[in-house]
Amino acid sequence: MPPGPFVASDPKVIVLLDGKSFPVLFDLTKVEKKDLFTGTYMPSTNLTGGYRILSYLDPSEPKHEKLKNLIFFLLKSRSNNVIPQFHSNYTDLFDSLDIELSKNGKASFSGNDQTAFTFLCRAFYGTDPKDTSLGSDGPSLVQKWVLFNLSPELSLGLPKFIEDPILHTFRLPSIFVKSDYKRLYDFFYGSAGFVLEEAERQGISRDEACHNILFATCFNTFGGVKIFFPALMKWIGGPGNKELHSRLAQEIRSAVKSNGGEVTIATMEEMPLMKSVVYETFRIDPPVPLQYAKAKQDMVIENHENSFQVKKGEMLFGFQPFATKDPKIFERAEEFVGDRFLGEEGEKLLKYVLWSNGPETESPSVRNKQCPGKDFVVLVSRLLVVEMFLRYDSFEVEATKSALGYDLNFISLAKATS
């Protein structure tokens, strides 16, 4: 795996190729996760204030529990703000899409970046970045900083003879993003006082806490939404899905109407098709497809056909679609099947949906490396589908692959007629 030897001390990995072998990556009795978030290399801590951030800590390390509990505290304390802020911010985005489509015949979903960043800042911290010195620069600053973190393994679509020496052989110097990162840090330090106070009560310095909530908000959550929301629209808005749209619109509007016109978590539990569609997108197009772990001991790993000896210290690597498109687990594994997870038999397949660095049927805790924002990301993904079909009967998109997900255009947005 990239990067090369000047960045990674050992680029060799053992690849897990199916849904049976893949879950060993989550078994912390057999593997460790220290400094493996990005794989065979770890970005310089100069990019994160000199700290090893939560994502790079193994659960056996004492700070892992404190920092993960801090993220849980943030999510829980601001949970009542999520649905109203999502509705407000994404209504504005849909309004702009309608205007752009009527003018140009198509509308770019690129505004999702600014909308998502503003939504997260208002929902989590009660602050609109446009009202601060950060202005509307947040998404571009985050994107540049993420590039410096991930450049050793990213492909930007350039010829190999350019990408390999520039991106995959040497680290990009962190000094070039230092002032951008400082602007982000100052915004979070000024907006997240209640989280920093809780951190001090837990024995974490305000400085370390701020770098961690910046990473959790910008890299983990904003980065995930930036990639996954266009993917969700691509798969739902693909050709031949008009019947699926009709079923979604009917289910969503009926559930909302029967609950007094309100969108709540309980209301969305009455939308099994909508939930299935979101899970199916996580299955077929996971936002973070690469997972790594290092063997703690000599062991034998089984796949569907064979058994393999792995030595202590060897690096295990999983490209998630190898597992989530395993044809021995999923019928029509390469196809988007919106109602795949309906019913009792469908729900049994959820344990094979692994986007959150763990099975969908399990929950993040301080004892594992499952994404602490797992339930939040599922919630906002469901909200996007609900908001779309409360507003539109159907839509069509054009999508092209990019370095981070898809470039997406809406070419049709049919307003709701009932």
Spatial CA neighbour of 391 closest among 278, 268, 256 = 256
Distance CA 156, CA 149 (A): 14
The CATH number of residue 117's host domain is 1.10.630.10
Domain that holds residue 242: 14-415
**Whole-model pTM above 0.85?**
yes
Specify the residue for token string 């593997």.
31
Residue at 396 is within a domain:
yes
pLDDT tens digits along 127-147: 999 999 999 999 999 999 999
Torsion, CA 31, CA 403, CA 139, CA 124, rounded to 10? -30
Distance CA 234, CA 80 (A): 29
CA distances from 99 to 111, 136, 292, 417 (A): 13, 21, 44, 19
Distance CA 372, CA 356 (A): 9
Residue at 371 is within a domain:
yes
Close Cβ partners of 417 (under 8 Å, ≥ 6 residues apart): 393
Residue at 162 is within a domain:
yes
DSSP H stretches of helix in 136-222: 138-150, 160-166, 178-191, 193-201, 206-214
Residue at 276 is within a domain:
yes
Close Cβ partners of 8 (under 8 Å, ≥ 6 residues apart): 1, 2, 39, 40, 41, 152
Residue at 151 is within a domain:
yes
| R_g of the chain, CA atoms, integer Å | 21
Structure tokens at 121: 């800042």
Q: Is 218 annotated as a binding residue?
A: no
Q: What is the pLDDT along the chain (418 residues), one digit of tens a residue?
A: 888 888 999 999 999 999 999 999 999 999 999 999 999 999 999 999 999 999 999 999 999 999 999 999 999 999 999 999 999 999 999 999 999 999 999 999 999 999 999 999 999 999 999 999 999 999 999 999 999 999 998 888 888 888 888 888 889 999 999 999 999 999 999 999 999 999 999 999 999 999 999 999 999 999 999 999 999 999 999 989 999 999 999 999 999 999 999 999 999 999 999 999 999 999 999 999 999 999 999 999 999 999 999 999 999 999 999 999 999 999 999 999 999 999 999 999 999 999 999 999 999 999 999 999 999 999 999 999 999 999 999 999 999 998 788 999 999 999 999 7
pLDDT tens digits along 315-341: 999 999 999 999 999 999 999 999 999
DSSP per position, 283-299: HHS-SS-EEEEEESS-E
Domain count, the chain: 1
Residue at 3 is within a domain:
no
Is the separation of the CB atoms in 49 and 185 below 8 Å? yes
Residue at 8 is within a domain:
no
* CA 1 from centroid of its chain's CA atoms: 22
Residue at 244 is within a domain:
yes
